[in-house]
Amino acid sequence: MSYPILEYDPAHEAFIEPSKVIRPLDMPEHCVITFFQETVDKIVAEHDAVVLAENSWEDGPHPLYEIEYKGRRLAFFHPGVGAARAAAIFEEVIAFGGRKFMACGGCGVLDGAVGLGDLVVVDTAVRDEGVSYHYLPPGREVAAHEKGVAALEETLCSRNVPYCRGKTWTTDAPYRETPGKIARRKAEGCLVVEMEAASLMAVAQFRDVIFGQVLYGGDDLSGAEWDRRGWTSKTAVRESLFWLCADACLTL
């Protein structure tokens, strides 16, 4: 191949294979992945969370927590920001024993119809990042797990929570979202943009675990100028998404 990123190797076992170097834990199979640190801190403080693993990296710990929710065991963690780190920490939690995952995060909006705080259930991701090419053969898109999408949709519908279902653009380089690329992604149907979905979906496919993801509309890239819209201040939306994901996850 001309480019290393396209040199997909189908060998299932890597030189550093997570299942060979990580000892499984007594942990719940149901797990929420959230990108909202203030939500993690609030739940840890208010729900007697237990630390299952410190999971320390060079930038500090990425703890794996457990709480009791509706009489069930539920794990959760923050995977860090960016595809490479999030995918690697996801790998570790799968090796610890997680099997059914729901993720909640924020996203930039490419379609102006997606308002601030509006929900998008991801069904497809454009693979404009690097990690997914190490888990799946080269391709333009990766599809979400049908069971993950269905669980999220059923949970949202049962609570009469409005949402749309659609495609996201996953990119490693938020400061290279050029007007030309934005126009091309919009033309192929991307509603939103973020940094991790394609990678997490690829890892889930490779490891044969269930994974679903819901995003809320944040900053707006659909107009002539970027509008930040104060999107990180939507704390109520962010916490509610965590519990929606918890409910959806426990249906699996």
Positive/negative CA dihedral, 126, 130, 133, 135: negative
Residue 164's domain comprises 25-250
Mean predicted confidence (pLDDT) in 130-147: 97
DSSP element (H, E) containing 223: none
- pLDDT tens digits, residue range 204-233? 999 999 999 999 999 999 999 999 999 888
Residue found by looking up tokens 């939103």 in the block: 192
What does the block give as tokens for 39? 């939500």
1 pLDDT band, cuts 50/70/90, is low
CA count, 13 A, side-chain hemisphere, 145 = 28
Total structural domains in the chain? Answer: 1
Q: Is residue 7 part of a domain?
A: no
pLDDT at site 111: 95
Q: Is residue 13 part of a domain?
A: no
Give one DSSP letter per residue of 18-47, joined into a string: HHHHS---S--SEEEEE--HHHHHHHHHHT
Q: Is residue 19 part of a domain?
A: no
Q: Is residue 212 part of a domain?
A: yes
Verdict on whether the full-model pTM lies above 0.75: yes
Q: Is residue 182 part of a domain?
A: yes
